[in-house]
Chain A
């Protein structure tokens, strides 16, 4: 199999094989505005769907009257809970979410009714004429209100498989991770630091709103074109709701304008299909921006309490933690978020005694679920803040303290799982620490302004708030650990279909998967893999749809590993078939056919020594090789419900950051001037895309550190559902981001690669906040850090 490891030969390099920065097939279309997103979908005679949403966060629905809405000219259908044809609930893991609210609404913005009309404005106005009478109920908004005696139970009669083990029915899932003798360890600890931390609710803020087009089919089924992260899991949830066998529910991926977890749960999918099947017409739904902010899940806000015990020389003796995540009204991916927070809650460190518990609540806040780095992001902010406090308490350098306790290959996780792949945590920290610091008072040396002065390098930026007076620099570090792929015993797989044929004398590979390209560049990598493994320049990617087997979710940093692995394995089987055919048809023409190590290059079969035996056209003739195969990563097992022990994760991913900030403490303004990252990626399948992922994750973490927060107030309502009021970093807020990439192969993974998308999101936030703390001396227990938290008022 060594021959598989020769993809970097020059002939391949020119074609964009594995390890090269092949350009994205969708890149030019996107930057020129020609790429068709799901919001651009159109069909002849299509209707427009609109969702009526609850104005209350918790209320009983007393009555619904659709008469007036139905009488609006142009309206073709109005649907309520009473009109649902089959299953009434869905959910990623626990089907606790009503397709349309029945007796009760549990969050502000919950879908209550649907309208299909010949114009989006007609649909919107008709929806406003649906009369819904509500009787408001008391709100559950945090741990104390959720678990208080007599608290309203938001989901009575739970039958999910967490129901029996949770301490309260308003707790979705609870996972302890316990290892070692805590009492003995506490007695050994010479230094103890405790801290409480809080993270606000971050939004994925994808630029593309939720959208799709459902087209009823003559066979009674429906074709749905949609921007999603996982076509097949959408279908698994849709088929029971529509009352259709799954083969009559066909999905095709449309252009996805960013995801970051926001598209893991269903949004408009079931609604558009129901309206299409009811009216017999194609139905398009596109959320407005403010609707998008209530129409998808958010990152779990969290409160965390940590206690770190160490010896005087800085070795961790024990770590205790309690992580409370607000899951909002429905379960979504809360169980997995809890599992990550608990199992990764120690961070990338070695400690024999760990007692961490994580739980997610049911509340009447907006539902929270998947967002880049989930569970691990919240924990990382807290444990890295703790490591800095511990370093300060010990009088140690914060990087040295981390390196002293850093895990490496061979370490044992708090779950008991051995770390059986490279874990270069200390090295990643060294890489970011050893970089030269950006010059002090950079605004005076920055070029290009003609004045010897560059406001962009100062807090406040072009707002012109300072010329450097009152500006203090701070430097902060953090490192994090994220799992890759679906964990805790989940049967996680992907599927690839690969077809090889000769068209007009030229070999052509068709790669067909259901992988959702959400901007991550998976389509680029799939083509690179096919070129490398089959030695064919021309690779065509089939649109992602449900005609091929599931690719699993574009999340958990898993698609290059999983669908990349599936494409690779299927390509290898196609190659074997080519060689079999070649030996059968041409074996007598050259002794080389009998040798080992034959491979494909430049459209030909070549020997291990590089001698050409035959063109693919000669081998295949008019035959087509067309194979579809599944690929699985190694199995994991569930975490023990009592102590969290178990081989829970497939792979770990590590990233370290150093943040350099300039803080205007008088005005409370922060400029992150540099955010350096170092990450082990196992194998850089596409170096440019790797750096892009690290940059993107770093900035998303920076946003959580200093500006991004969904404001939930006034009865658990989202108060800032717009890009004017929910602030994400602009390019002026984006620092210089030098990146170091390590390529230490994980032998369990295809090409030795490591999932990369999420890890940079973890350590970015605590590194930035550590730098602000270093500049200001403030404790800063909560993110995002805003001006009022720095001005001391």
Chain B
């Protein structure tokens, strides 16, 4: 260590897996902290909960918006730097490992030192002895390279070298995801808009603050609310029309889980409510003589009762009150009695028509980084599969003539899943071991 330059020391620091482990654990602990400190507290609530001193300390550390705080981002930055330096540092070594070793170093001793190794003396020439195992090798590995050496014939072959690069694929996927999230953060937006049926707008309200104008207009043609028999909502749907330069360019329906994208802006069904309609039809029946009066009711204003015995006001409206259907609540003000409020239902037939105007709540988001995220996800899964389901297996076969016989030495290694390699290796040794007819005339 003593004669390393400071630059080397810095590189070593950022290339070390120890740093990676430390960062992963710190990130985990910090993430945990953020699930216990509420992330959407208003300053007032924070003061009440934690008192002035702790609150100002928490604000200093951005603990109420931890995952976007400067120090959390620094940690992520360190992780990435660590990843990149480490990958560049290790890559040459991985490249070297991904090849079979050849050249002078490969001697019988090298073969015997492999994690899996086996030797046997068999009759016949090296070529004769290759024949029985040739098929087996072909099946399990790529075509072997044959080399004549000073001590005999060497065959080398391997399989699954690409698996050594799985970790690089996983690590690069993290870089894609980071880039994607940065692009989303700086070039995208999160906004929402409320549209009543029939209304058109190009203004959307940003989540953070402010409004922006979309380069096109959106109109809500209709909002549909579908229900299960129990009354619980089963589907919300907004039928939208996109208008550009006063021309209708697209019609689309947006449902929960089925967003719609136009020119990079994606619309999500988020919520809905209903506005008082222009009026309700109400049938009133006078108790004294059962005479029915049909009248049109105006919201927000007192309405005269048909016989002028008093007035009433629409206080409230519900699409489905107590699962008995639509209803309006009236405040009745009679000339002689005290005011009273009453719910009037459509069933049984007092409320004649009820057609509220729905208003949809849409989210309008733009995220130009999303394809980096999807690519990152794809690479991460691919990298995991490459890393964990394949292994780099190497096999060396030495054929050394000893008089009329041949000493066969095989050595092999697998960088993971040794179990499955062992099965292959045992098959080879079994083939070499058997062949009793030939072993008989073995002269030792």
Real complex partners, A and B? no
Q: Which residues of B contact A (CB under 8 A)?
A: none
**Which residues of A are in contact with B by a Cβ distance under 8 Å?**
none
